[in-house]
Amino acid sequence: MTFRVPDGVHAREVDRDLVILDSAGDRYFSLNESGVVVWRRLSAGGTVDEAVADLVAGYAIPEGTARADVEAVVARLTGAGLLVAAG
C-alpha cells in the first residue's frame, strides 16, 4: 500500500524535525527525526516496508522495532488525515 498527502496539508523540515500543517483544519503536527524518515518515504509514494527498511538502515534498529514505529506513525498520520491511502 502506498500513501499520498492530501490537498491542504503542507510539511516543512525544521532542523531535524518536521512540522506538518493541515490548513483545512487549522492544526499543526510535528515529527521527530525518525518520523521525518518515515514521512519522506511515505509522502513520496513509498511503502511501509520501504520506510521500515529506511529506519533499519539509518538507525541500526531491529526490524520489528522499526515496523512498530512505522505503523505507529502511519496510524497517527492517517488518523489525523495527513496521509491517505493511494493504493
The DSSP bridge partners found for residue 5 are none
Whether 68 is in a domain gets the answer yes
Whether 25 is in a domain gets the answer no
DSSP 2-42: BEEPPTTEEEEEETTEEEEEETTTTEEEEE-HHHHHHHHHH
Whether 44 is in a domain gets the answer yes
25 pLDDT above the threshold of 80 = no
Number of domains in the chain: 1
- How many Å is the maximal CA-CA distance in the chain? 37
Rounded to the nearest integer, the mean pLDDT of the chain is 94
* Band of pLDDT at residue 27, cut at 50, 70 and 90: confident
What is the rounded average pLDDT of the residues 51-80?
A: 96
pLDDT at residue 39, as a whole number: 97
pLDDT at residue 24, as a whole number: 79
Whether 29 is in a domain gets the answer no
Domain of 78 in residue numbering reads as 3-7+34-85
**Tell me, what DSSP letter sits at residue 7?**
T
Whether 54 is in a domain gets the answer yes
